[in-house]
Amino acid sequence: MQKQYMDLHIHLGRDIYGNPVKITASNKMTLQAVIDEAVSRKGMDIIGLVDCLSPAVLKEIEDLLKEGILTELTEGGFRYKGILTILPGAELEIYDERCRGPVHVLCYFPDFKQIQNFSAWCRPYIKNIHLSTQRIYANTSDLQNRVKEGEGWFIPAHVFTPFKSVYGKGADVYMAELFNLDWVDAVELGLSADRSMAETLPELDAMPFLTNSDAHSVKKIAREHQVIYVSSPTFAEVEKAIKQKAGRKVVRNTGLHPELGKYYQTVCGQCLLPADKNVCPKHPSAPVIKGVKERTRELAMQQEQGKRGNMKALERASYLHHIPLEFIPGIGPKAVDHLISLFGSEMAVLHEVPFVDLFKTLTENQADFMKRMREGSLQIQPGGGGKYGKVKI
């Protein structure tokens, strides 16, 4: 088996013509920039591109396949120069009669023909097929069915965030209110939740967990990722790993400490200060933005009132809280570049290089922060309301 680093939720800011793809993504986030960052700096082995409904993105992939820069793998996925596997996907926003609010979902497909056909199927239901994460005016059941017809995966995105997620705004209590759970392949936890929080929900007992970056800039690639064991980096092998088949598996989910996420704690919608008991002491009449911590606790209590699922709970991968280099105090861009040049990738610096070797290249303060990061003993000021948390100095 091969150990592979994988991040399945990466956006593109611009297409080959310089036109926007994901409006909120950096305009420097081209396909080549994503590949370069994933390979040369982050140490990724498998990535998922979730803007492949766009005709211009499909055209660029098609051109790279014709030029031989990308090779389509027999078991699914595109191989870049023998060093990186790219899985094509799409992020969509659904909002039909079942939903209380908009919900983002991720759909992935094994090959160029399937993602091209899915783009064509979606086109009549989307106002602007050239942009990513657009609302699709199709029935959710029809969408799930179409994904399965294309041998794809259907994965609800960042499922606990207050906005545009299943448990944030979409459903009252259960994901099953919106989706056929037999056609849900996994759930993406999002930056403000971890395994321990998600496992409190009985509905998720038999659901695989994924941790992805949802990167809107190249620096954010791999801020959340997973380590998997597969025999080769292909779509089919990744599917086996997600579903724990034939010895393939996700061996580690790696995510930001939830308190670093933008939506961990409940805050005042006006000043973003913590709102204890849903009331801001400074602005008692202002609306609050419910945090993931409170929402998961609320859902766990509501779901426990019913029976816990009869399906056997999965044997979960370990979950590692990590803090990307850009979050660590005292380690600026020049220090990051130096560390990556010495040790090969950010993943190596964060997780693999012996600390004694890192210590030789860091100042005393930098070394102290890195040591405490690996020990999980850094103190964090929690984020909320769209504002990231930060490591306390």
DSSP for 262-292 reads TTSS-EETTT--B-GGG--SS-TTS-EE--H
Please tell me the predicted confidence (pLDDT) of residue 285: 84
213, 158: one domain: yes
In-domain check, residue 293: no
221, 347: one domain: no
229, 92: one domain: yes
The pTM is what? 0.95
124, 198: one domain: yes
| Number of structural domains the chain divides into | 2
The residue range of the domain holding 342 is: 324-377
Q: Which amino acid is at 393?
A: I
Q: Distance between CA atoms of 274 and 288, rounded to whole angstroms?
A: 9
In-domain check, residue 271: no
149, 227: one domain: yes
Residue-by-residue pLDDT tens, the chain, 393 positions: 999 999 999 999 999 999 999 999 999 999 999 999 999 999 999 999 999 999 999 999 999 999 999 999 999 999 999 999 999 999 999 999 999 999 999 999 999 999 999 999 999 999 999 999 999 999 999 999 999 999 999 999 999 999 999 999 899 999 999 999 999 999 999 999 999 999 999 999 999 999 999 999 999 999 999 999 999 999 999 999 999 999 999 999 999 999 999 999 999 988 988 887 788 888 988 889 999 999 999 999 999 766 555 555 678 899 999 889 988 888 999 999 999 999 999 999 999 999 899 888 989 888 898 888 888 888 999 999 999 999 988
* Residue 58: HSE in the Cβ half-sphere, 13 Å Cα cutoff: 21
Q: Distance between CA atoms of 190 and 204, rounded to whole angstroms?
A: 15
In-domain check, residue 343: yes
Buried b (16+ CB within 10 A) or exposed e, 191-212: bbbbbebbbebbbbeebbbbbb
In-domain check, residue 331: yes
Helix (H, G, I), strand (E, B) or coil at 226: strand
Please tell me the predicted confidence (pLDDT) of residue 140: 96
251, 340: one domain: no
In-domain check, residue 79: yes
Q: What is the pLDDT of residues 162-209, one digit of tens each?
A: 999 999 989 999 999 999 999 999 999 999 999 999 999 999 999 999
201, 342: one domain: no
Please tell me the predicted confidence (pLDDT) of residue 313: 61
In-domain check, residue 301: no
55, 67: one domain: yes
Q: What is the pLDDT of residues 316-356, one digit of tens each?
A: 899 999 889 988 888 999 999 999 999 999 999 999 999 89
211, 256: one domain: yes
314, 368: one domain: no
Among 110, 187, 102, CA closest to 148: 110
Residue 257 in tokens: 């400490």
334, 235: one domain: no
Helical segments of 105-173, H only: 112-122, 140-149
Q: Distance between CA atoms of 60 and 201, rounded to whole angstroms?
A: 41
Q: Distance between CA atoms of 195 and 128, rounded to whole angstroms?
A: 36
> Which helix or strand (DSSP H or E) is residue 359 part of?
helix 355-359
114, 193: one domain: yes
Q: Identify the CATH number of the domain in which residue 82 sits.
A: 3.20.20.140
In-domain check, residue 391: no
Among 286, 291, 303, CA closest to 259: 291
In-domain check, residue 292: no
